[in-house]
A and B are shown apart, each in its own frame.
Chain A
Amino acid sequence: MTEISALKSRLLADIAAADTADSVETLRVGALGKNGVVTALLKTLGGMSPDERLEKGPAIQDLRESVAGAIAVRKAALEQAALDARLAAERIDMSLPADLGPVGSVHPVSQVMDELAEIFADLGFSVATGPEIEDDWHNFTALNIPETHPARAMHDTFYFPDGEADGQKRMLLRTHTSPVQIRTMMTQAPPIRIIAPGRVYRSDSDATHTPMFHQIEGLVIDRGITLGHLKWTLETFLKAFFERDDIILRLRPSYFPFTEPSVEVDVGYTLVNGQRVIGGSGNDKDGGWLEVLGSGMVHRKVIENCGLDPDEWQGFAFGTGVDRLAMLKYGMTDLRAFFDGDLRWLRHYGFSALDVPTLSGGVGA
């Protein structure tokens, strides 16, 4: 056993026994520092004869490498242990609740309007708008609703006070979205395909009527458009909206002053656990018909009133309640709750911001 190997054994044992980073550092300085024992041995190499160096050199080099290696290993081990100890001390109760932040919602009426816009965009319809404070010409006269029509009566229509008595048009709250038909036909050259959703107003209030509600109007003006196109459009729209292929429509002759022929549209439903589920024939067992749309071929007087030639241009119009469509699709039962702003209701029936209706992802959510 030489001196060197004895020194090595001692140093390695000391390093292994060091239990703090500081004591490892003290050992490093004592061995490998400027005045360290290993450093001193390395310095002796310079004064040796070549033979002597050949004999002792490798042992001294081995000593230096072993000690340096052992110090590095020991240091790393101690750092790891220290980190482990710190992390262990930093443990917290991960079962404590985390704050998700507030969760918002989109109103069902807005959602359904977006759904309708998406479906009708695929059929080539754009979305048109018009004022809610209308004049009686756009709301009634242009739509072939004469002065004495009951719909003009005070009990249905919200009016504003008469303007100056110089033949000014009487202002009112639009009772339907149909004046948008007029405004579109007067400003846009055919062919026309639009839908017009929006707020409408009638002086009516009970469980199923509110003085403000939402309608959507559809209008197609082109050459050669027939009742058959209307039928297809409504079938296609309702199938896409309810995402069901078993939608069955029943068309009934009806009367609206601004369409001729006029058609009321019922959709078949089936009673499932006491709820009306759209789909199937209304004539089936457990079935029934729900009136969902008013429609017809645009009256030639209306087309004329808009400055178009009714012998060249014809088409169809339809209208339905957006709130009602939402109720039929998503199962709300009380219309008044739509306009109450009750957070509980909005969270229950509302939609996530990311439920954007798309054709690929589905228009329903």
Chain B
Amino acid sequence: MKFTLSWLKEHLETDADLLTILETLTNIGLEVDGVENPAERLGAFRIAKVLSAEPHPQADKLQVLAVDAGDGPLQVVCGAPNARAGLIGVFGSPGAVVPANGMVLKVAAIRGVESNGMMCSFRELELGDEHDGIIDLPGDAPVGQVYAAWAGLDDPVIDVSITPNRQDCMGVRGIARDLAAAGIGSLKAITIPTINGQGAGPDVRTEDASGCPAFFARSVTGVTNGPSPQWLQRRLKAIGQKPISALVDITNYVSVDLGRPLHVYDMATLNGGLVARKAQDGEQVLALNGKTYTLDPRMTVIADDAMVHDIGGIMGGAHSGAQDGTTQVLIECAYFTPESIAVTGQALGLTSDARTRFERGVDPAFLDDGLSIATQMVLDLCGGTASEATRAGAPPAAGRSVEYTPTRVLALAGVDVAEDIQARILESLGFGVSVGDIWTIAIPSWRRDIDGAADIVEEVVRIYGLDKVPSTPLPRAPGVARPTATPEQMIERRVRRTAAARGFNEAINWSFLSEKEAASVGGGDWVLANPISEDMKVMRPSLLPGLLAAVGRNMDRGAASVRLFEIGRRYFATGERATAGIVLAGEKMPRSWQTGKAQGFVAHDVKAEVLALLAAAGAPIANLQSFGEAGGAYHPGQSGTLRLGPKAVLAEYGMLHPALARQFGLSGSVAAAEIFLDAVPVKRRASFMRAPFTPPALQAVKRDFAFLVPDAIDADALVRAVKGADKKYIVDARLFDLFVGPGVEDGHKSLAVEVTLQPGEKSFTDEDLIAISGAVVKAAEKLGAVLRG
């Protein structure tokens, strides 16, 4: 919302300086986004008279002028067609900076003739689009004076951002009222003109009480439309609006000045009366912005017998807008329901100054006054005769009030504001205050946002000053702060820092994938209705695509070795699952004087990482079982899952399937894994006490067994069988050799297991050891393994 200081002072009587006004605006919740005084950029440009104009000796299109900017004649070369002796224009002397292009003017020879500055066009001074010639001022413009001061441009333009609850401050008057309440001067009275209407009001109706409960209008006949007066054009230009014609400028002015949007129709273009109604499905209108909109029955329109003329409260139609030749107009001052405006605006994707105001809720008690003010301006600027007003429907202007106790300020805001100060603040904002045990606060019609005591507290505190709220410590529980992290949070923290400690870099990838990426990992359950792009459409069912894409980008940048991890969620119809994803790609070891050629990653590299991270997460890794079925993302023969029991999958890992690697443009070895953090059993600690330390009295004994095993049997199964052969004495079994080749029959492999035996009270006898060995061999034989001789 932009306005100028002088415009503000139309409504606010104040001596405050600009800086105080700006600070106060921000402090009361009208945040100043910017302030600029055009005069500061134009200080070097003065009003000057062209004393003589002679043809340039070297160029047909140039003239050599003698210019007086108050200090006697200066020679200036000028190419403007309208430059002539006697013209009074605007002169920039050497040193001045031309606003439009940042050029610094200097004394220069133009086609061999010295020029001591420049006569300027409006466009060069960024005061308009006109560039047909230099500025041509009235004959009484005072030569030598700074142009900006004379032209009334020495007027700071203030830009404030208005929060969506404050439609009243979408008008300069509302801002002035807030400032007055904050002690910056006093709000000037506003005069509502009395219109003596001649003849019946125009035929307007509303058939849509929900979208347009009130449609007030007057007609004015015999108007002359044309450019609006300078003061009005200047104000609109200052805030970045383009003056169009007096009739249009009046509506824009009232909208900014009082926050009251209006619409003016050229009655010559209308067929019969105007009605506010719901649009018919598929009905179309060509709007003032040159675009055609297709409407539906949720939307309120203003139409005559023939066509739609206005997307109610949002934008007028091109067909019936005021033109230069317009002689008879209908001025619409209606109330459109904010909810209805929001639906229509969103559906059409159409924003406008009118929508911004109606959507926030204009003052429903200001229809008559707004219509009178606009009508009087039309009469003043365009002449003509006004009709009576037609008032179709009624705006929702019933007075509202709220019960309030002044102690609420201390209770909610923590600051003590005296009752008389509270009452003064509220009254100056337009509230009615009835003091008592419980105050009754009458809400002004323009404050649709107020509906409870907390709102009143906010009004009091924002005007009184948030800086006066004392900083109050939160009560603190006695003693040292207690731990707050949940076991699930601790799992994530431990896994994260373990991964980083093991050489992985943590990435954060998008939660969404393309459909193709999602399909490569089994497809996603959640597909966005309105994705920002096709690449970000499906909520990821796996962390792998994001990681693989990141690997690809790094490889493209020349990275030889990539270790990435991410901790985040996977999204399923059944819920969101906390997951850690890791990827190892490229070189495991670079070529080195110690190890020779660079080495790639193998499947057991990622298995080691998975186990380390699971251990960090607190999973009982000694009890994990190795299964297959890691899924289609992995090499079917070099991947697996780790489970606690057959159903509880804690991790999938392995070498990436070559098809997936190709899809992401990856070459070289790529190993990956996903660890399902939510499947890790949470350990709830009962006590800090550890079990007593009781080292065995006797030393453990180690025995090696080598078995001939069919290929189909997993090593893990053999080791488990061996370990389970004697639950009392066997404390560990570790596979230490795998051999395939000469001496081992086809379809088989040789697996060697080191078994650790822990004696109890007394040492093993030979008979004990023979018995245990027998049990080990027997357990292995159940799997089809045969002890090698």
Contacts and interface: CB of A to CB of B under 8 A. Distances in A.
A261 B528 contact: no
Contacts of A229: 414, 472-474
Contact of B563 (A102, A158, A203, A228): A102
A339 B510 CA distance: 7
Contact of B412 (A124, A235, A314): A314
Interface of B: 26-29, 31, 163-166, 338-339, 342-343, 346, 349, 359, 410-415, 449, 452, 454-455, 457-458, 461-462, 466-467, 469-474, 476-477, 481-486, 489, 493, 496-512, 526-532, 536, 539, 546-547, 549-550, 553-554, 557, 559, 561-564, 567-569, 571, 575-576, 589, 592-594
Given A150-B164, A260-B454, A104 B553 contact: no
Nearest to B475: A222
A44 to B, nearest CB: 51
B485 A117 contact: yes
B696 to A, nearest CB: 35
A171 B338 CA distance: 25
B424 to A, nearest CB: 18
B564 A341 contact: yes
A365 to B, nearest CB: 12
Nearest to B537: A158
Which of A146, A148, A149 neighbours the largest number of chain B CB atoms within 10 Å of its CB? A148
B497 A253 contact: no
Contact of B493 (A114, A122, A235): A114
A253 B462 CA distance: 6
Interface in A248-275: 250-255, 260-264
A201 B27 CA distance: 31
A107 interface: yes
A40 interface: no
| SS of A interface (majority) | mixed
Contact of B592 (A99, A211, A297): A99
Given A251-B466, A356-B497, A133 B530 contact: no
A109 interface: yes
18 contacts: A104-B502, A154-B530, A160-B527, A201-B511, A226-B469, A226-B472, A228-B413, A228-B414, A228-B415, A229-B474, A251-B466, A252-B29, A261-B457, A297-B413, A339-B510, A341-B554, A343-B505, A343-B564
A212 interface: yes
Contacts of A127: 484-486, 489
Interface in A146-192: 146-150, 153-155, 158-162, 171, 173
B662 to A, nearest CB: 20
Contacts of B166: 255
B413 A227 contact: yes
B536 to A, nearest CB: 6
A160 B526 contact: yes
Contacts of B594: 99
Interface of A: 96-97, 99, 101-107, 109-110, 114, 117, 120-127, 131-133, 146-150, 153-155, 158-162, 171, 173, 193, 199, 201, 203-205, 211-212, 220, 224-229, 231-233, 235-236, 250-255, 260-264, 297, 299-300, 314, 338-344, 346-347, 350-354, 356
B458 A261 contact: yes
A262 B458 contact: yes
A253 B452 contact: no
Nearest to A211: B532
Contact of B553 (A114, A251, A341): A341
Contacts of B554: 341-343
B474 A121 contact: no
B414 to A, nearest CB: 3
A101 B414 contact: no
Contacts of B165: 255
Contacts of A339: 508-510
A351 B165 CA distance: 43
A110 B506 contact: yes
A101 B501 contact: no
A155 B482 CA distance: 43
Contacts of A220: 474
A227 B508 contact: no
A228 B568 CA distance: 36
A232 B547 CA distance: 41
B458 A121 contact: no
Given A227-B413, A251-B466, A263-B466, A148 B553 contact: no
A224 B553 CA distance: 53
Contact of B562 (A232, A264, A297, A343): A343
B505 A104 contact: yes
Contacts of A347: 505
Contacts of B457: 260-261
A160 B528 contact: yes
Contacts of A155: 349
A121 B490 CA distance: 14
Contacts of A228: 413-415, 469-472
Given A102-B561, A159-B528, A232 B473 contact: yes
Contacts of B507: 107, 341, 346
B503 A102 contact: yes
Given A201-B511, A205-B532, A105 B505 contact: yes
Nearest to B27: A252
Given A124-B477, A148-B342, A158 B530 contact: yes
A123 B28 CA distance: 30
Contacts of B496: 106, 110
B526 A124 contact: no
A122 B532 CA distance: 40
A195 B474 CA distance: 15
A127 B338 CA distance: 38
A239 B544 CA distance: 39
Contact of B508 (A101, A109, A236, A354): A109
B458 A232 contact: no
Nearest to A157: B530
B328 to A, nearest CB: 36
Given A124-B477, A255-B165, A341-B550, A158 B414 contact: no
B527 to A, nearest CB: 7
Nearest to B584: A102
Contact of B472 (A104, A107, A150, A232): A232
Closest 6 CB pairs of A and B: A102-B503, A228-B414, A341-B550, A253-B29, A226-B414, A228-B472
Contact of B529 (A147, A149, A159): A159
A146 B648 CA distance: 43
Contacts of A254: 29, 31, 163
Given A106-B500, A261-B457, A346-B505, A133 B526 contact: yes
A255 B476 contact: no
Contact of B466 (A149, A159, A253): A253
Given A99-B592, A228-B415, A340-B553, A261 B559 contact: no
A262 B466 CA distance: 11
A136 to B, nearest CB: 13
Given A211-B532, A227-B413, A350-B506, A235 B474 contact: no
B752 to A, nearest CB: 30
Which of B28, B414, B547 neighbours the largest number of chain A CB atoms within 10 Å of its CB? B414
A261 B481 contact: no
A231 B454 contact: no
A214 to B, nearest CB: 8
A255 B477 CA distance: 32
Nearest to B559: A343
